[in-house]
Amino acid sequence: MVENIGKVWTGYWNLFLTGLGYTLLLSLITVLAGCVIGFFLALMRMSKWKVGNVRPLSVLVGTFVEIVRGTPLLLQLYFFYFLLPDLVYFWEPSKFTCITIALCLNSAAYVSEIIRAGIQAVDRGQTEAARCLGLNSKQAMIHVVLPQAVKNILPALCNEFVTMIKETSLASTFFVGELMTQFKTISGALYLTIEPLIIVGIIYFVVTFGLSKCVLAMERRMSAGD
């Protein structure tokens, strides 16, 4: 088996690296877009704007978050893969685009809760002190609350990136070019299953283990600064 693994890697290393590139690209796009969308979702979730006794923005975002967190990611991928091309008449999105949008919205739901928790973890006294110094709500959020919240949020966001690297494996169902898609391609060409699967598993482990250690080191460094 070891000999076969060596032969598979020697013959198809370029496909494995291509798959790794797509995996990292998909994960990076997902987390970056998820952070941007999640930030606004978190602000909407914490909005105090009311219509009667109801906070519509908070209810709307809360419903979205619960739906995303309460349904399997694979179901969401299927939903966007089949529905999005029918909703957009002026543009035909690629498979990669449909899957990326689904992953971004999934990540945004989780990131919004991370950001909301990070903001709410900042002592309210900080906001009150900023208001006493003459800052309005927006200025207090930007200059006082967010800089302190980032310290709590950053490690969790990095862990979300690591998690998303593993979750992109579900995208192989739609053959978008990431690692598990390359595994299926190589396995079909060689009629081998275990050997390319072991190589893919090693790549996933090396990448996620290395990133996890980097996140842990960052957390320790930030804790040391307290």
Kindly state the average pLDDT of the residues 7-33: 90
Q: Say if residue 43 is exposed, middle or buried (CB neighbours under 10 Å; 0-12, 13-18, 19+).
A: middle
pLDDT of residue 224: 65
Residue 148 has pLDDT above 60, yes or no: yes
Residue 86 has pLDDT above 90, yes or no: no
> 196 and 186 in contact (C-beta within 8 Å)?
yes
> What ranges do the domains of the chain cover?
2-224
pLDDT (tens digit, 9 = 90+) per residue, 29-46?
998 999 999 999 998 998
Q: 62: closest CA among 102, 104, 116?
A: 116
Kindly state the average pLDDT of the residues 88-102: 85
Q: 172: closest CA among 163, 162, 164, 182?
A: 182
pLDDT of residue 199: 93
Answer with the residue of higher pLDDT: 215 or 38: 38
d(CA 133, CA 1): 69
pLDDT of residue 134: 74
Using pLDDT thresholds of 50, 70 and 90, give the confidence band for residue 60. very high
102's tokens? 């689904």
> 42 and 119 in contact (C-beta within 8 Å)?
yes
pLDDT of residue 154: 83
- Torsion on CA atoms 37, 43, 44, 48, rounded to nearest 10: 180
pLDDT (tens digit, 9 = 90+) per residue, 157-211?
888 888 888 888 888 888 888 889 999 999 888 888 899 999 999 999 999 999 8
Kindly state the average pLDDT of the residues 52-65: 89
Q: How far is CA 152 from CA 42, 92, 220, 221, 222, in A?
A: 15, 40, 12, 13, 9
pTM: 0.85
pLDDT of residue 6: 87
Kindly state the average pLDDT of the residues 52-73: 91
Report the topology of domain 2-224.
MetI-like fold (1.10.3720)
- Which residue(s) pair with 165 in the sheet? none
Alpha helices in 46-145 (DSSP H): 56-70, 73-87, 95-120, 124-132, 137-140
Residue 225 has pLDDT above 70, yes or no: no
